[in-house]
């Protein structure tokens, strides 16, 4: 495989920026202003732009920013899931002149907000007195005080009076549908009629918390023109910007959004920061001072968005050789109390529901419904993990019923070039499903590994040796297994998402001769600040450290769209290549065709600043009909496979994921280390989703709203992860990238669940596979073993039968 | 208020603070050392890790009264100060080389846990490294490149000086 | 949002006793439990705090009269590092290694674990199974409390309001076998779902078990001894029948609950299965 990395990994990754004098200790190499390393760094690709600042403690996250005279803000929240908000009672014993209190009555603009353009605003900025509370921890009022002691006293002196209303918690009981789809391809009845076997199954997944280690944080500073500047931890400056304009009734220039260094997002800082920015701004405008709103962890978990819980039902018809002939799939997403991004998430669930498999007769029905729980929103994978786990697990059950290996059934059905998807998209290029599958299988020697677990079973050392009584330890204390899974992930937004944003990217050569990329795409750990200059530099033919990346400040950079949907490298990167090529052509044309690299500084000195921009234009291919859900939902698809090895403790049901090999096709790899970092991090989030990450909900409240109760994997829980990059370039963008960040999240969980099955013989149809569910499966299968076959674990309803 | 004196990154500090004030708040708010981060406030995430008399501890769980007379090292104290700027230590350089920092919020605490491990003679053994950083949560990296960085620093540290 | 309560830092035990006698104060040692409450976001901060960290009298690990003595301020890290513990009672180091992770082990103290009285306290079942004696004291003098009389109700100890935990004495017994097992959701930084400590005496591997002590954490409102199961195991040999009977006895004996960390069913089943496993391994079948 050939690498198309714009900059070849080199032994010495950086050189001193020429603009800075080389005053430094003789043996040290300067890597950032005032920061040096001894000798040469042996690395691959340029170093992370803000790496030195993050390693020295210099990097400034929102809570590190100092605004003299700033007040502290807090939110008064509901403690019921559904209720009428009768009154906010302020204890007359407290001196309210020392603080400011904001209620819905103080909102100068629109009282309801929507997550993004095009979605109906339905979420109150604050629930008005007399209005309906729709979820636990819903914001009702805001308080700011000059110091924390006063703030705390004020919070205690404010009482919320409510009258309970009947809540709905089960998405299957909800009669409020935010959005629904019905995708039909072929003739389902004919497909089932032709099938040799039909298998049904139901799969469930709960909430997952993004758990960025930096909590939500926003500081609002009132400006002289009656507007406000917010500094915060956020993914999408141009989501926050219009949200401020709407709620505060201010114009585009009065609202300014500046991203602080951001300590992780994973989707959790896609839309929630808009609400937090409005809250901080309302307080700042009322007290005429900067206001800091920095969430504590428990508030962050209790109130902010999670991955949508889902119920997914499959009914699948196959031929004896494993060929899929009919897929009937129903997807139900629990949207929580407000619409937020649910329609967009459901769109992705719907297009991905069938998995990366050819099937002529398909019906996919899907809906996102309202329940009285905090609104669910974006989280890496964005609706795809909730459908990939079901389709992959279902396929494994089919394979087992037919006596075909999980690898072989995937080989037989995975999309090949020229195949047609359920929405009618012809996969005409960049189809790498088989390649990622084979690479993963080869890396773990899948067939040989399966043979080992199979032998263990035959000799009574595998899951057939589980205890015959729920209270008895089995002969062997643990069993090992291996699993494999495959996924596809649509590149960029679903459907016409890009058209809605008309993203613009600008590149400038300023009068001092500095090249700079102007884009709104944020760095939150994934590498935006490093890879966009690399992409620009390659197009300009200059070293990447000669290209600056402008700060993500709405006063400085154009709207290049949100930093979501793995679109930065692919979509924004493509616009950037085009803009850079225009700039290069312009400069070279007025310098007698001499190369940009040689003349650009001189050109700037002579001609002053130059700028070039590029704006999104629709990709070729069929347009996507967002109502009928037909056409090309994505210009290209990325492909991912994952193989996982687990050990299951047969006494306790604890699952240790020992090793994961993740193979991902991102089109091209722009920076090898950053790309692997995406795969490794996404894989561990998927392992957490598969095994221990479980939000426990009681009466619409998250019970485990602390880090001691919502557990994510530590370094000793994490498997050894190997990332293998495959490159099937996308010809719709000039540099071939398709996006990467989400794919590892899609494919990890089904691989782990398949490995648990291989080890124990039980099917887990509900995520996560907690020790409680695994043990329930083991003890149920112990009973079943007496009659010779393993049972189904972890679910109160059996998943159907051949 | 209590008078509290201690050394931070080699420099003496003297301040008046409530004895039960969290060391984390003393560092961040009273001393402006914001490299130390808060992630959970209950000793679960390790983002606020600092080195106290040679041991890695969660600064959110330390009352100021208990640091009187003690020696504290924070992320700001890792790089060597020279007249021409700071020179990263072997561990920071290794994080840069392997890609051990992504969003960076866990990085200061991670570096300090690893620093203590290396200073105690810890080697490149992966399981030992993982145990040494088990009190530091990272949500970005899957720990792969962090473990790699610490192993690299352990190897580098074992090479004779000048090699 | 920290709103700090007042704190005093006595320099010796006499001063600490005097302050405790004046009015009740919440002691702080390593702070791993108490400091979580300081912000007021999780639980309520204490009104008045007594900092024990300077009391040198409460430090140190020693072997005295056939008993391992550990000062209340002994940290888990010190237990793990101690050569004396490694030689005389390695299972204690094994238990200390399951607490939190490095940061917590460096700060958390044995005395703190005892006084905090969490039903999930990691070391407490081991202290019960080893028949440790907890020595406490105050201005009125010192007294010894056997571990099985120390945790008297949910998060309640036998300490008087003016008393402090001073040290723990663990008798060292020849021919004693001890097993410890903690089951949590993850392998570090986890609060237990079940903790089990089992001790018995046996001169030879073929001998019948005597002096059986079985203690459990996270299955009741406090760390408990499982006395019916102890009785069942007393005088038995490690056979499959014994293991089956002990597993059934312990499952019937305990009354765990559903909570945010696990379920009653899981805790009961896992307690039985790991006890069964320990007997299976001891029997070598």
Region class of A479: left (phi > 0), else alpha (psi between -120 and 50), else beta:
beta
pLDDT category, B111, cuts 50, 70, 90?
very high
> Which residues are CB-contacts of A76 (< 8 A; sequence separation ≥ 6)?
A88, A139, A140, A141, A142, A143, A155, A158, A160
pLDDT above 90 coverage of chain C, percent? 94
When CB atoms are compared, the residue of B84, B93, B102 closest to A23 is B84
Q: Do A255 and A227 touch, CB atoms closer than 8 A?
A: yes
* Residue A460 pLDDT: 63
Strands A763-764 and A792-793: parallel
Task: Kindly give, in sequence order, each residue whose CB lies less than 8 Å from that of residue A464, ignoring residues fewer than 6 positions away.
Answer: A457, A761, A785
DSSP string, A78-95: -SSSSEEEEEEEE-TTS-
pLDDT digits (tens, 9 = 90+) for C85-137: 999 999 999 999 999 999 999 999 999 999 999 999 999 999 999 999 999 99
Distance from CA of B55 to the nearest CA of A (A): 19
Specify the pLDDT at position A796: 33
- Residue A37 and residue B102: Cβ atoms within 8 Å? no
Question: Which of these three, A304, A337, A357, is where a domain ends?
Answer: A304
What is the C-alpha to C-alpha distance for residues A390 and A291, in angstroms, rounded to an integer?
45
In which band, very low, low, confident or very high, does the pLDDT at A603 lie, cut at 50, 70 and 90? very high
Locus of tokens 């114009």: A251
Alpha-carbon distance A47 to nearest alpha carbon in chain C (angstroms): 30
For position A458, what pLDDT does the model report? 72
Query: What residue of B is the nearest CA neighbor of A526?
Result: B102
Q: Does the pLDDT at position C155 exceed 50?
A: yes
pLDDT in tens, A372-427: 999 999 999 999 999 999 999 999 999 999 999 999 999 999 999 999 999 999 99
Q: Band of the pLDDT at A452, cuts 50, 70, 90?
A: very high
Q: pLDDT tier at A790 (50, 70, 90 boundaries)?
A: very low
Residue A782 binned pLDDT confidence (cut-offs 50, 70, 90)? low
CA distance C222 to C44: 21
Both A371 and A472 in a single domain? yes
- Please tell me whether residues A554 and A692 are part of one structural domain: no
Question: pLDDT tens-digit profile of A199-237?
Answer: 999 999 999 999 999 999 999 999 999 999 999 999 999
Q: Residue A597 pLDDT > 50, yes or no?
A: yes
Same domain, A596 and A674: no
CB of C165 closer than 8 Å to CB of C159: yes
Quick one: average pLDDT of B55-70? Answer: 98
Confidence of residue A783 (pLDDT cuts 50, 70, 90): low
Contact criterion met (CB < 8 Å) for B39 and A716: no
pLDDT greater than 50 at residue A792? no
Minimum Cα–Cα distance from B103: chain A residue: A525
Q: What local confidence, expressed as pLDDT, does residue C206 receive?
A: 81
Say which of C1, C2, C270 has its CB closest to residue A651: C270
pLDDT at B83: 86
CA neighbor of A281 nearest in space, from A85, A100, A91 = A100
Please check whether residue A730 is in contact with residue A737, taking contact to mean a CB–CB distance below 8 angstroms. Answer: yes
Residue A622 has pLDDT above 50, yes or no: yes
Q: Coil, strand or helix: which one is C135? A: strand
Q: How far is CA C138 from CA A473, A648, C162, in A?
A: 47, 49, 6
* Joined tokens for residue C128: 């019960």
Same domain, A34 and A116: no
Which among B75, B93, B130 has CB closest to A57? B75
Alpha carbons A643 and A442: distance in angstroms, whole number: 10
Has residue A58 been placed in a domain? no
Cis peptide before A330 (omega within 30 of 0): no
- Residues A107, A24 share a domain: no
* pLDDT of res. A24: 42
In a domain, residue A787? The reply is yes
Same domain membership, residue A400 and residue A510: no
The proportion of chain A whose per-residue pLDDT surpasses 90, expressed as a percent, equals 89
Does the structure show a pLDDT above 70 at A25? Answer: no
pLDDT in tens, A725-752: 999 999 999 999 999 999 999 999 999 9
Supply the range of the domain harboring residue A408: 310-493+632-793
Provide the 3-class DSSP secondary structure of residue B3. Answer: strand
Task: Encode burial over A565-580: b for 16+ CB neighbours within 10 A, e otherwise.
Answer: bbbbbbbbbbbbbbbb
Is the ipTM, as predicted for this complex, more than 0.90? yes
Residue among C59, C30, C168 nearest B55 (CA): C30
Mean pLDDT of chain A: 93
Residues A2 and A148 in one domain: no
Q: Summarize the confidence of residues A188-194 as an average pLDDT.
A: 98
The β-bridge relationship of strands A132-133 and A83-90 is antiparallel
Cross-chain Cβ contact A261/B104 below 8 Å: yes
Q: Across residues C67-77, what is the average pLDDT?
A: 98
Q: CATH number for the domain including A162?
A: 3.90.1170.50
Tell me which residue in C28, C42, C51 faces B42 most closely, judged by beta carbons. Answer: C42
Confidence band for A40, pLDDT divided at 50, 70 and 90: confident
A120 found inside a domain: yes
Same domain? A255 vs A156: yes
| Beta carbons of C188 and A717 less than 8 Å apart | yes
User: Given CA atoms B107, B109, B111, B113 in this order, what sign does their dihedral have?
Assistant: negative
Cβ of B42 within 8 Å of Cβ of A212? The answer is no
How far is A386 from A393, CA to CA, in rounded Å? 12
Does pLDDT of B145 surpass 80?
Answer: yes
Position A462 scores a pLDDT of: 53
pLDDT of residue B1: 85
Are residue A584 and residue A602 in the same domain, yes or no? yes
pLDDT at A165: 98
**Assigned domain for A346 exists:** yes
Any chain B CB within 8 A of the CB of C39?
yes
- Whether residues B140 and A23 touch (CB distance < 8 A) is answered with no
Distance from C-alpha of C126 to C-alpha of C94, rounded to nearest angstrom: 11
Alpha carbon dihedral A100, A104, A109, A114, in 10-degree steps, equals 120
Q: What is the pLDDT of residue A486?
A: 98
Distance CA A265, CA A210 (A): 7
Cβ contacts of A707 on chain B, cutoff 8 Å: 39-40, 42, 44-45, 137
Which residues on C lie below 8 Å from A775 (Cβ)?
266, 269-270
Both tokens of A43, joined, read: 């690395």
- Confidence at residue C105, expressed as pLDDT on a 0 to 100 scale: 98
Q: Which of C45, C120, C186, C267 to mutate to test the interface with A (most CBs of A within 10 A)?
A: C186
Q: Structural domains in chain B? A: 2-77 (3.10.20.30), 80-158 (1.10.150.120)
Q: Do C270 and A775 touch (CB under 8 A)?
A: yes
Chains that touch A (3 or more CB pairs under 8 A): B, C
Contact between A51 and B39 using a beta-carbon 8 Å cutoff: no
pLDDT for A747: 98
Any idea which residue has 């805001």 for tokens?
Answer: A142
Q: What is residue A456's predicted lDDT score, i.e. its pLDDT?
A: 82
**Residue A54 lies inside a defined structural domain of this protein:** no
Q: How far are the Cα atoms of A108, A127, A134, A249 from residue A105, in angstroms, in the given order? A: 8, 10, 19, 14
> Is A184 inside any structural domain?
no
- Give the torsion through C-alpha atoms of B114, B117, B120, B126, to 10 deg: -120
Query: Do both A561 and A710 map to the same domain?
Result: no
State the CATH number of the domain containing residue A486. 3.30.365.10
Distance from CA of B157 to the nearest CA of C (A): 22
How many beta-carbon contacts under 8 Å exist across B and C? 101
- Residue B47's nearest CA partner among B94, B95, B113 is B113
Looking at the fold, whether A275 and A323 belong to one and the same domain comes out as: no
Which chain A residue has its CA at the smallest distance from C268's CA?
A: A471
Question: Do C185 and A711 lie within an 8 Å CB cutoff?
Answer: yes
Shortest Cα distance, chain B CAs vs residue A10, angstroms? 11
Does residue A771 lie in a domain region? yes
Token output for A494: 């679903």
Confidence band (pLDDT; 50, 70, 90) for A116? confident
Is B150 within 8 Å of chain C by CB? Answer: no
Residues in chain B: 163
Q: Please say which residue of A590, A615, A640 terminates a domain.
A: A615
Which DSSP helix (H) or strand (E) runs through C165? strand C164-171
Q: Is A297 on the interface with B (CB under 8 A)?
A: yes
Residues 25-64 of B with CB under 8 A from C: 25, 41-44, 46, 49, 55-58, 60-63
The pLDDT value given to residue C42: 81
Smallest CA-to-CA distance from B59 within B10, B94, B26 is with: B26
**What is the tens place of the pLDDT at every residue in A527-563?**
999 999 999 999 999 999 999 999 999 999 999 999 9
Nearest Cα of chain C lies from the Cα of B99 at a distance, in angstroms, of 24
- pLDDT, residue A11, reads 33
Mutate to test the interface with B, among A25, A65, A213 (most CBs of B within 10 A): A213
Kindly identify which residue of chain B lies nearest to residue C5, measuring between CA atoms. B20
Domain count for chain A, please give it: 4
SS3 B156: helix
- Please, what sign has the CA dihedral across residues C255, C260, C261, C265? positive
Q: Is the pLDDT of residue A791 over 90?
A: no
Instruction: Give per-residue pLDDT as tens, A506-530.
Output: 999 999 999 999 999 999 999 999 9
**Interface residue A211 vs chain B (CB under 8 A):** yes
User: Mean pLDDT throughout A234-260?
Assistant: 98
Residue B42 near residue A707, CB atoms below 8 Å: yes
Where does A25-176 show beta strands of DSSP type E? Answer: 28-32, 35-38, 71-77, 83-90, 100-102, 112-113, 123-124, 132-133, 139-145, 158-164
Determine whether the interchain pair A214/B39 forms a contact, defined as Cβ–Cβ distance below 8 Å.
yes
Final residue belonging to a domain, choices A284, A304, A324: A304
Across the interface, of B2, B41, B58, the residue whose CB is closest to C41 is: B41
Cβ(A141)–Cβ(A74) under 8 Å? Answer: no
Partners of C270 on chain A (C-beta within 8 Å) are 651-653, 771, 775
CB proximity A212 to B under 8 Å = yes
Give the closest residue to A483 by CA, choosing from A787, A719, A184.
A719
The torsion angles phi and psi of A162, rounded to 5 degrees, stand at -140, 160
Residues on chain B touching C10 (C-beta within 8 angstroms): none
Helix (H/G/I), strand (E/B), else coil: B118 = helix
- Pick from C4, C38, C102: which is nearest to B113 by CB? C102
Q: How far apart are CA A657 and CA A688, in angstroms?
A: 10
Are C4 and B41 a contacting pair at CB < 8 A? no
pLDDT score for B157:
75
Judged against a pLDDT cut of 60, whether residue A794 lies above it is answered with no
In chain B, residues with a C-beta closer than 8 Å to the C-beta of C35 are 22, 43, 60-63
Same domain membership, residue A471 and residue A454: yes
Mutate to test the interface with A, among B44, B84, B103 (most CBs of A within 10 A): B103
């Amino acid at each position: 495989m050939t690498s198309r990395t714009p900059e070849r990994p080199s032994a010495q990754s950086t050189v001193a920026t020429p603009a800075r004098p080389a005053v430094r200790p003789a043996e040290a190499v300067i890597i950032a202003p005032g920061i040096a390393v001894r000798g040469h760094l042996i690395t691959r690709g340029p170093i992370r732009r803000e790496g030195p600042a993050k390693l020295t403690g210099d990097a400034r996250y929102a809570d590190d920013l100092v605004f003299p005279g700033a007040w502290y803000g807090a939110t008064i929240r509901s403690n019921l899931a559904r209720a009428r908000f009768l009154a906010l009672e302020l204890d007359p014993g407290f001196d309210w002149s020392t603080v400011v209190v904001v209620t819905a009555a103080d909102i100068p603009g629109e009282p309801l907000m929507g997550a993004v353009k095009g979605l109906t605003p339905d979420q109150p900025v604050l629930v008005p007195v007399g209005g309906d509370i729709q979820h636990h921890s819903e914001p009702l009022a805001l308080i700011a005080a000059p110091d924390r002691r006063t703030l705390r006293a004020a919070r205690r002196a404010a009482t919320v009076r409510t009258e309970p209303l009947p809540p709905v918690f089960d998405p299957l009981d909800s009669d409020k549908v935010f959005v629904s789809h019905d995708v039909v391809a072929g003739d389902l009845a004919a497909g089932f009629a032709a099938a040799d076997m039909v298998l049904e199954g139901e799969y469930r997944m709960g909430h997952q918390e993004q758990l960025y280690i930096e909590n939500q944080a926003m500081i609002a500073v009132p400006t002289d023109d009656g507007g406000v500047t917010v500094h915060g931890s956020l993914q999408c400056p141009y989501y926050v910007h219009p949200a401020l304009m709407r709620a505060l009734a201010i114009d585009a220039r009065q609202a300014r959004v500046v991203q602080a260094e951001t300590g992780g997002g994973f989707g959790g800082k896609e839309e929630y920061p808009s609400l937090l920015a409005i809250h901080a701004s309302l307080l700042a405008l009322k007290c005429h001072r900067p206001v800091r709103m920095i969430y504590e962890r428990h508030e962050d978990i209790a109130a902010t968005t999670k991955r949508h819980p889902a119920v997914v039902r499959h009914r699948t018809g196959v031929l004896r050789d494993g060929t899929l002939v009919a897929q009937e799939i129903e997807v139900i997403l629990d949207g929580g109390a407000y619409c937020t991004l649910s329609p967009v998430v459901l769109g992705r669930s719907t297009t991905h529901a069938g998995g990366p498999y050819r099937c002529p007769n398909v019906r996919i029905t899907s809906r996102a419904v309202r329940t009285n729980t905090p609104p669910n929103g974006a989280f890496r994978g964005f609706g795809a993990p909730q459908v990939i786990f079901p389709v992959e697990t279902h396929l494994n059950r089919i394979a087992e019923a037919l006596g075909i290996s999980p690898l072989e059934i995937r080989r037989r059905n995975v999309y090949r070039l020229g195949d047609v998807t359920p929405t009618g998209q012809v996969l005409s290029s960049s189809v790498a499903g088989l390649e990622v599958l084979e690479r993963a299988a080869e890396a773990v020697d899948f067939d040989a590994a399966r043979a080992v677990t199979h032998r263990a079973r035959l000799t009574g050392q595998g899951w057939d040796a589980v205890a015959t009584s729920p209270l008895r330890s089995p002969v062997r204390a643990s069993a090992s297994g291996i699993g494999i899974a495959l996924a596809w992930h649509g590149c960029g937004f679903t459907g016409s998402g890009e058209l809605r944003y008309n993203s613009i990217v600008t590149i400038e050569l300023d009068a001092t001769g500095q090249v700079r990329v102007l884009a709104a795409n944020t760095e939150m750990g994934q590498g935006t600040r490093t890879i966009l200059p690399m992409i620009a530099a390659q197009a300009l033919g200059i070293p990447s450290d000669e290209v600056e990346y402008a700060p993500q400040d709405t006063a400085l950079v154009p709207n290049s769209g949100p930093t979501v949907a793995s679109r930065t490298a692919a979509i924004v990167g493509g616009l950037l290549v085009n803009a850079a090529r225009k700039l290069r052509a312009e400069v070279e044309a007025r310098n007698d065709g001499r190369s940009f690299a040689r003349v650009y500084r001189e050109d700037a000195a002579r001609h002053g600043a130059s700028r070039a921009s590029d704006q999104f234009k629709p990709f070729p291919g069929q347009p996507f009909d967002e109502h009928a859900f037909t056409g090309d939902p994505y210009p290209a698809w990325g492909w991912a496979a994952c193989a996982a090895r687990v050990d299951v403790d047969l006494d306790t049901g604890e699952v240790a994921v020992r090793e994961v090999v993740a193979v991902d096709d991102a089109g091209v790899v722009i920076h090898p280390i950053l790309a692997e970092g995406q795969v490794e991090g996404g894989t561990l989030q998927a392992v957490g989703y598969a095994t221990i990450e479980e939000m426990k909900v009681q009466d619409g409240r998250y019970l485990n709203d602390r880090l001691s109760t919502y557990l994510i994997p530590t370094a000793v829980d994490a498997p050894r992860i190997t990332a293998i990059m495959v490159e099937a370039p996308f010809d719709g963008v000039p540099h071939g990238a398709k996006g990467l960040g989400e794919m590892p999240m899609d494919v990890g969980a089904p691989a782990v669940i398949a490995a648990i099955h291989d080890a124990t013989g039980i099917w887990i149809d509900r995520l996560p596979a907690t020790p409680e569910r695994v043990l329930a499966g083991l003890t149920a299968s112990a009973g079943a073993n007496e009659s010779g076959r393993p049972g189904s674990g972890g679910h109160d309803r059996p998943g159907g039968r051949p | 208020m209590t008078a509290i004196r201690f050394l931070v990154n080699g420099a003496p500090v003297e301040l008046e603070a409530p004895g039960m004030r969290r060391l984390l708040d003393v560092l961040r708010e009273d001393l402006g050392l914001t490299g130390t981060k808060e992630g959970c406030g209950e000793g679960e995430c390790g983002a606020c890790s600092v080195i106290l008399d040679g041991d890695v501890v969660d600064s959110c769980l330390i009352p100021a009264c208990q640091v009187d007379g003690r020696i504290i090292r924070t992320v700001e104290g890792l790089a060597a100060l020279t007249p021409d700027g700071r020179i990263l230590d072997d561990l920071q350089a290794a994080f840069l080389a392997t890609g051990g920092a992504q969003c960076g919020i866990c990085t200061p605490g991670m570096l300090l846990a690893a620093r203590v491990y290396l200073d105690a003679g810890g080697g490149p053994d992966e399981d030992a490294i993982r145990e040494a950083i088990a009190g530091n949560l990272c949500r970005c990296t899957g720990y792969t490149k962090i473990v790699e960085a610490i192993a690299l620093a352990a190897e580098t540290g074992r090479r004779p000086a000048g090699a | 949002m920290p709103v700090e309560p007042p704190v005093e830092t006595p320099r010796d035990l006499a001063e600490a006793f005097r302050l405790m006698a004046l009015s009740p104060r919440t002691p702080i040692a390593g702070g791993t439990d108490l400091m979580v409450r300081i912000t007021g976001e999780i639980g309520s901060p204490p009104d008045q705090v007594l900092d024990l960290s300077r009391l040198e009298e409460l430090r140190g690990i020693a072997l005295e009269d056939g008993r391992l003595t550990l000062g209340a301020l002994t940290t888990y890290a010190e237990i793990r590092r101690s050569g004396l513990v490694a030689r005389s009672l390695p299972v204690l180091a094994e238990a200390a290694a399951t607490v939190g992770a490095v940061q917590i082990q460096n700060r958390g103290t044995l005395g703190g674990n005892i006084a905090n009285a969490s039903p999930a306290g990691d070391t407490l079942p081991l202290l019960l199974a080893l028949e440790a004696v907890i020595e406490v004291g105050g201005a009125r003098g010192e007294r010894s409390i056997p571990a099985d009389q120390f945790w008297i109700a949910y998060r309640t100890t036998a300490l008087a309001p003016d008393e402090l935990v001073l040290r723990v004495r663990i008798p060292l017994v020849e021919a004693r076998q001890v097993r410890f097992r903690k089951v949590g959701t993850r392998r570090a930084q986890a609060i237990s779902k079940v903790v089990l400590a089992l001790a018995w005496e046996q001169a030879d591997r073929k001998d019948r078990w005597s002096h059986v002590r079985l203690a459990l954490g996270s299955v009741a409102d406090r760390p408990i001894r499982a006395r019916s199961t102890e009785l069942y195991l007393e005088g038995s040999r490690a056979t499959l029948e014994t293991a089956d009977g002990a597993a059934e006895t312990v499952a019937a004996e305990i009354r765990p609950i559903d909570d945010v960390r696990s379920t009653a069913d899981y805790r009961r089943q896992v307690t039985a299965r790991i006890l069964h496993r320990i007997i299976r391994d001891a029997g070598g079948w």
